[in-house]
Structure 1
Amino acid sequence: MYEFEFKRPGTIADAVNALGAEEAQLLGGGQTLLPTMKQRLAAPAVLVSLGGISEMQGVCTDDAGRICVGGGTTHAAVSAATADSYPALSHLAGHIGDPAVRNRGTIGGSLANNDPAACYPAAVLASGANVVTNTREIAADDFFEGMFTTALNDGEIITEVKFPVPVAASYQKFLQPASRFALTGVFVAKFAGAVRVAVTGASEDGVFRWSEAEAALSGSFSPDALDGLSVSADGMIADMHGSAAYRANLVKVLTKRAVAAC
């Protein structure tokens, strides 16, 4: 690991100012960045930690009934705080990585990194959540732009995520045992007027909505509604853990399981 300067601001405004330094980079829970630095694949001159910003931590409910999660809230804290209000989100957060990861990693860090196999992007996209930054509010459908790519601008910090709460929801993950990332994961959220289905871990472009399944489930919310559908293997991830066709099949299997579990 190369030498770097460490800053731990106490407010969002101070963090924004600290990011103005040359070659400065944000540090959330550090579950991705620090291992990358140890391998000398990244060498920021300044690390700006968000861990000391209390206004970015915690979970509450707003006047619209949305669950608002601070960008610096750990996975373990999200899981504990949403067990009753949003069980599917609680289940997802409670099964990310291992206890060490869950007690250090943050929702904001995960979303900003947008790993194609991360769990939170599926919850955000299926819920139709809004990602709030220090400068604006971004709808989930506009936030994810591809593998490790988001709509965030340089110097923009995820301060909060606002989750509408569906009538019913479930997250089903087929995990890769060593990393505990999703080999494929599907989050199904049923709202009064529509169904949203988001898939992570499968596509080379990162998280995506399965629109054909959404249309079928909006007409009949049952696993059988998906019988006539299939997912193309084109553009799916293929690696030592599973072929593109294998992941494409998992999308349908896990979507059926999620609907059955709702």
Structure 2
Amino acid sequence: MKPAAFDYYAPATAEEAVALLSEFGDDAKFIAGGQSLMPMLNLRLAVFEHLVDLRRVDTLRGIEVRGDSVWIGAGTTHSAVGRSAQIRDAVPLLSRATPLIGHFQIRNRGTIGGSIAHADGAAEYPAVVLTLDAEIEALSPRGTRTIPASQFFTGMWSTDLADDELITGITCPAAPAHSGYAIEEFTRRSGDFAVAGAAVALTLAADSTIERCAITTFGLGPTATRATAVEQAVTGLAVAGQEPETVARDVLDGVEAISADLHGPVEYRKRVGTAMVARAWQRAVEEATHG
């Protein structure tokens, strides 16, 4: 199938883009890499009268180290994120998540802002920015605002973005010393969406107690989910005393939105999720402890 007819716009600035979205309202949609939007348009699961192409907006692309954080332009492709030495050194979790996204053709076209705006519960980048306590920068005709990742994802394919807002960048904190990061996922085939996945970020104090802990599950429900109760419970404890399997069971016991789907029943998906958390926890601990 082919998409329904639409008017096409290619603004040169982000301000022009949000002005068009504000003018046309619900009848308009931004398109960046198009890796999520185009299949929906082709199948006519979504129909828009106006498409606003962001590829000419140069200010939406780029990677910059800004003090103790890294800014990534929303229009930066997955492949550019994956190749970046700055990302690899300062935001290793983002770098490690990138090869798990689809196939290389998708990574060459898809953008980090598009993935986050699409807010798929099984996608890697939303889980990563949630784990890192990243901030999402959004532009509208009213100006710019910053949205914490913890407040950004509101439900299945839904976010806190207003109807006339555009993601312009994502700011991730740089990895501190004595930190460990890991992301694990189980897929039926390479490039498929995750049946279950987990991302873990740990920072240890000088005495090897847990100073910061973030555990996020994805692929199990409508959104990626932080295990805040478990995070709080282990913070301040000796990392050596935390068994991966115990941590993982506690995390999955707290995930309320696990749903059965074509991948399998709830109990199967919970078992897979438990294994992914345990693996990610163990890898993060090893890196935080030994470097």
What TM-score, normalized by structure 2, do the two folds share? 0.84
1:246 aligns with one of 257, 260, 268: 268
2:277 aligns with one of 228, 245, 255: 255
1:68 aligns with one of 68, 71, 74: 71
Matched, 1:17 2:19: yes
How far apart, in 1, do the equivalents of 2:75 and 2:281 lie? 31
1:213 aligns with one of 205, 230, 245: 230
How far apart, in 1, do the equivalents of 2:5 and 2:152 lie? 33
Matched, 1:160 2:169: yes
Report how far residue 255 of structure 1 moved. Answer: 1.6
Which residue does the alignment assign to 1:7? 9
How far apart, in 2, do the equivalents of 1:5 and 1:178 lie? 36
Gaps of 5+ in 2: 205-210, 285-291
SS of residue in 2 equivalent to 1:84:
helix
Report how far residue 217 of structure 1 moved. Answer: 4.0
Which residue does the alignment assign to 1:195? 213
Q: Given that residues 102 and 190 in structure 2 are in contact (C-alpha distance below 8 angstroms), is that contact kept between their aligned partners in structure 1?
A: no
Q: Given that residues 11 and 53 in structure 1 are in contact (C-alpha distance below 8 angstroms), is that contact kept between their aligned partners in structure 2?
A: yes
- What is the alpha-carbon root mean square deviation over aligned residues? 1.8
Q: Deviations over 1:133-152 (max 9, x none)?
A: 11200011111111111100
Which residue does the alignment assign to 1:35? 39
Moved more, 6-15 or 229-238: 229-238
Which residue does the alignment assign to 1:78? 81
SS of residue in 1 equivalent to 2:195:
strand
What TM-score, normalized by structure 1, do the two folds share? 0.92
Which residue does the alignment assign to 1:138? 147
Which structure has the larger Rg over C-alpha atoms?
A: 2
Code of the residue aligned with 1:241 in structure 2: it is H
Q: Deviations over 1:88-116 (max 9, x none)?
A: 21110122000110001111111111011
Moved more, 246-255 or 160-169: 246-255
Report how far residue 191 of structure 1 moved. Answer: 3.1
Gaps of 5+ in 1: none
Which residue does the alignment assign to 1:224? 243
Q: Which has the higher helix share?
A: 2
Report how far residue 257 of structure 1 moved. Answer: 0.8
Report how far residue 178 of structure 1 moved. Answer: 6.7
Report how far residue 176 of structure 1 moved. Answer: 3.5
Code of the residue aligned with 1:40 in structure 2: it is R
Report how far residue 119 of structure 1 moved. Answer: 0.7
Q: Given that residues 21 and 46 in structure 1 are in contact (C-alpha distance below 8 angstroms), is that contact kept between their aligned partners in structure 2?
A: no
Which residue does the alignment assign to 1:121? 126
| Alpha-carbon distance change, 178 to 260 in structure 1, aligned in 2, over 3 angstroms | closer
How far apart, in 2, do the equivalents of 1:171 and 1:33 lie? 26
Q: Given that residues 221 and 259 in structure 1 are in contact (C-alpha distance below 8 angstroms), is that contact kept between their aligned partners in structure 2?
A: no
Q: Given that residues 170 and 189 in structure 1 are in contact (C-alpha distance below 8 angstroms), is that contact kept between their aligned partners in structure 2?
A: yes
Which residue does the alignment assign to 2:108? 103
Q: Deviations over 1:152-175 (max 9, x none)?
A: 000101101011133221111112
How far apart, in 2, do the equivalents of 1:165 and 1:246 lie? 36
Q: Deviations over 1:172-221 (max 9, x none)?
A: 11124275212111110113531011111012x31111124323542243
| Alpha-carbon distance change, 171 to 106 in structure 1, aligned in 2, over 3 angstroms | same
How far apart, in 1, do the equivalents of 2:239 and 2:38 lie? 43
